[in-house]
């Protein structure tokens, strides 16, 4: 357990993801932290700068290992019934734990009980029920989550959802494909974490390192193997009443509706461009392979051609008003580079590993990659769209100055 949590790419990557979120929460000095489901205590090693760090785990072996690391405040208990007073902690982390419990709402309610009013919980869980596999059975999972499912459980337990995002997005396509192949072949009995050799740890950690940098900047990933939520203990109530005023600094509703009027049209154009990219890439790949070009070289060239097509059409058609500025183009290029790597990895897995025909493999992989890059573009690159300036008379009617800008 100790060696796995220290060295395995998954644990190393998850620590990077959690760190990125902790940096956004701030308030480290003087805070009391609990790691509920601390395992061997490796994550507790990372919580430097907090006034106190406590740990809890249901495994006596895990508790002993955590204490052997020098963490003295580690308790043997279930997350559903913790030996702490109400409001004992400013911050609680519960990483890949509640999917093991029979009643996740009860677990989340107990986690809220030990968190002070205004304090936060960072929770991570495995994502998507359709990815259920022997990995989940071996690890004694009760369920996997979608965003709405985790939100519903958290809100039923009385939490306020501050932020949620998927992560491990870049490795989702090959992981999903691997699980599908294992399901078809009947392979099983082992956790997915045992399938990757140790020499790949550094390489497989890189995508999670990139995602952590994105999350640190406040971005949300549209999909992933895992889901993370930041929850706040609101105390008695946290929702705005029906007659309560909007928060200071928010734009009036009428103004926001006008400001977003152009977005559906741009989104439709962006969708058309994405479909054309896929078709151009696939046709180019087939022609190149038929001409005798090595399949991987053909794939890289065809994908790049589709990306160039997307850049051109988005520049002169979708975002012709200039809203898709240099920062957006850099993001778009980054997404295409990510897509290229994902496409190459899945294509090689099918052709070399599963012995699938080269053209059939690309026909299977390319639409998957296109959907993933589309989702990331929509939530990251696409979000930089600047809606047109609303008419001055509507701004005035909404009660704001037409010349008022963001400070």
- Of 22-31, 116-125, 368-377, 379-388, minimum mean pLDDT range: 379-388
Q: Which of the residue ranges 141-150, 349-358, 379-388, 395-404 would you say has the lowest mean pLDDT?
A: 395-404
Query: SS3 for 29?
Result: coil
End-to-end C-alpha distance for the chain, whole angstroms = 51
Instruction: State whether residue 178 is helix, strand or coil.
Output: helix
Residue 146: per-residue pLDDT: 92
As a whole number of angstroms, the distance between CA 63 and CA 75 comes to 7
Least confident of 53-67, 127-141, 294-308, 378-392: 378-392
Higher pLDDT, 59 or 196: 59
Rounded to whole angstroms, the Cα distance separating 273 from 268 reads: 9
Contact 177, 233 (CB under 8 A): no
pLDDT at 386 over 60: no
CA 97 to chain centre: 17
User: Of 94 and 223, which is predicted with more confidence?
Assistant: 94
- pLDDT, greater one: 252 or 382: 382
**Helix/strand/coil (H, E, C) string of 343-388?**
HHHHHHHHHHHCCCCHHHHHHHHHHHHHHHHHHHHHHHHHHHCCCC
Distance (Å, whole) CA 235 – CA 237? 6
- Reply yes or no on whether the pLDDT at 137 is more than 80: yes
Query: What pLDDT does residue 246 have?
Result: 34
The number of residues making up the chain comes to 407
Among 45-54, 343-352, 393-402, the minimum mean pLDDT is found in 393-402
pLDDT confidence of residue 398: 42
Which has the higher per-residue pLDDT, 387 or 295?
A: 295
Lowest mean pLDDT among 5-19, 108-122, 279-293, 314-328: 314-328
Which strands form 52-57's sheet, in the order they lie side by side?
Answer: 74-76, 52-57, 32-36, 89-95, 115-126, 226-232, 160-167
pTM score above 0.85:
no
Q: What's the pLDDT score for residue 239?
A: 40
Q: What is the pLDDT of residue 157?
A: 96
Question: Minimum mean pLDDT among 179-183, 337-341, 384-388: which range?
Answer: 384-388
Range with top average pLDDT, 235-239, 275-279, 400-404: 275-279
What is the pLDDT, as a whole number, of residue 142?
93
- pLDDT value of residue 82: 96
**Rounded CA gap, 55 and 5, in Å?**
16
Reading the block at residue 123, the tokens are 């929770």
How buried is 160 (Cβ within 10 angstroms: 0-12 exposed, 13-18 middle, 19+ buried)?
middle
Select the highest-mean-pLDDT range: 188-202, 319-333, 366-380: 366-380
Q: Please give the Cα distance from 370 to 382 (Å, whole number).
A: 15
> How far apart (Å, rounded) are the C-alpha atoms in residues 73 and 183?
42
d(C-alpha 94, C-alpha 58), whole Å: 13
Mean pLDDT of 334-344: 87
Complete domains list, the chain, with CATH:
2-232 (3.40.50.150), 259-384 (no CATH)
SS3 content of the chain, % helix, strand, coil (to 5): 55, 15, 30
Residue 93 pLDDT exceeds 70: yes
Burial class (CB in 10 A: 0-12, 13-18, 19+), 185: exposed
Mean predicted lDDT score pLDDT of the chain: 80
DSSP SS3 for 67: helix
User: What's the average model confidence in pLDDT over 203-209?
Assistant: 85
**Residue 382: per-residue pLDDT:** 58
Asked whether 87 and 201 are in contact (CB, 8 A), the reply is no
Query: Average pLDDT, stretch 340-344?
Result: 88
Supply the pLDDT for residue 270.
73
User: What is the average per-residue pLDDT within 353-370?
Assistant: 87
| Rounded mean pLDDT, 297-313 | 85
Whether the pLDDT of residue 56 is over 70: the answer is yes
User: What's the pLDDT band for 138 if we cut at 50, 70, 90?
Assistant: confident
More confident residue, 203 or 361: 361
- At residue 244, the pLDDT reads 34
Q: With 80 as the cut, is the pLDDT of residue 361 above it?
A: yes
Instruction: Flag whether pLDDT at 179 surpasses 80.
Output: no
More confident residue, 49 or 393: 49
Asked if residues 386 and 323 have their Cβ atoms less than 8 Å apart, the reply is yes
Which residue, 96, 37, 377, 374, is CA-closest to 226?
96
The percent of residues above 90 in pLDDT, for the chain, comes to 37
Flag whether pLDDT at 263 surpasses 60.
no
Under 8 Å CB-to-CB from 140, ≥6 apart: which residues? 100
């Amino acid at each position: 357990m100790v060696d796995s949590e220290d060295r395995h790419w998954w644990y190393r990557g998850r620590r990077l993801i959690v760190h990125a979120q902790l940096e956004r929460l701030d308030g480290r000095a003087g805070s009391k932290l609990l790691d509920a489901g601390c395992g061997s205590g490796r994550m507790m090693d990372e919580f430097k700068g907090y006034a106190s760090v406590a740990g809890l785990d249901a495994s006596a072996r895990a508790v002993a290992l955590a204490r052997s690391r020098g963490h003295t405040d580690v308790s043997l208990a279930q997350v559903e019934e913790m030996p702490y007073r109400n409001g004992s902690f400013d911050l609680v982390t519960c990483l890949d734990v509640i999917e093991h419990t029979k009643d996740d709402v009860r677990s989340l309610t107990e986690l809220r009980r030990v968190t002070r009013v205004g304090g936060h919980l960072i929770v991570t869980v495995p994502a998507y029920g359709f990815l259920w596999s022997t990995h989940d059975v071996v690890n004694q999972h009760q369920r996997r989550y979608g965003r709405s499912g985790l939100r519903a459980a958290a809100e039923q337990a009385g939490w306020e959802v501050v932020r949620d995002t998927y992560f491990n997005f870049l490795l989702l396509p090959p992981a999903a494909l691997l699980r599908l192949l294992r399901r078809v072949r009947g392979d099983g009995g082992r956790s997915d974490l045992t399938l990757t050799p140790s020499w790949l740890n550094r390489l497989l950690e890189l995508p999670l390192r990139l995602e952590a940098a994105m999350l640190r900047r406040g971005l949300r990933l549209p999909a992933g193997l895992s889901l993370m939520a930041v929850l706040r203990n609101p105390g008695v109530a946290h929702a705005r009443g029906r007659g309560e005023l909007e928060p200071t600094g928010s734009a009036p509703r009428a103004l926001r509706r006008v400001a977003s009027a152009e977005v559906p049209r741009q989104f439709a154009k962006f969708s058309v461009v994405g479909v054309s990219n896929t078709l151009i890439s696939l046709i180019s790949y087939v022609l190149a392979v038929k001409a005798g070009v090595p399949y991987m070289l053909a794939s890289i060239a065809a994908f790049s051609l589709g990306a160039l097509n997307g850049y051109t059409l988005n520049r002169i058609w979708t975002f012709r008003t200039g809203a898709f500025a240099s920062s957006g183009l850099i993001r778009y290029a980054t997404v295409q580079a990510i897509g290229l790597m994902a496409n190459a990895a899945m294509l090689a897995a099918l052709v070399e590993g599963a012995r699938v025909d080269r053209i059939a493999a690309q026909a299977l992989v390319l639409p998957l990659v296109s959907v993933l890059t589309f989702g990331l573009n929509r939530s990251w690159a696409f979000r930089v769209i600047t809606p047109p300036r609303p008419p001055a008379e509507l701004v005035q009617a909404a009660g704001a100055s037409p010349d008022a800008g963001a400070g």
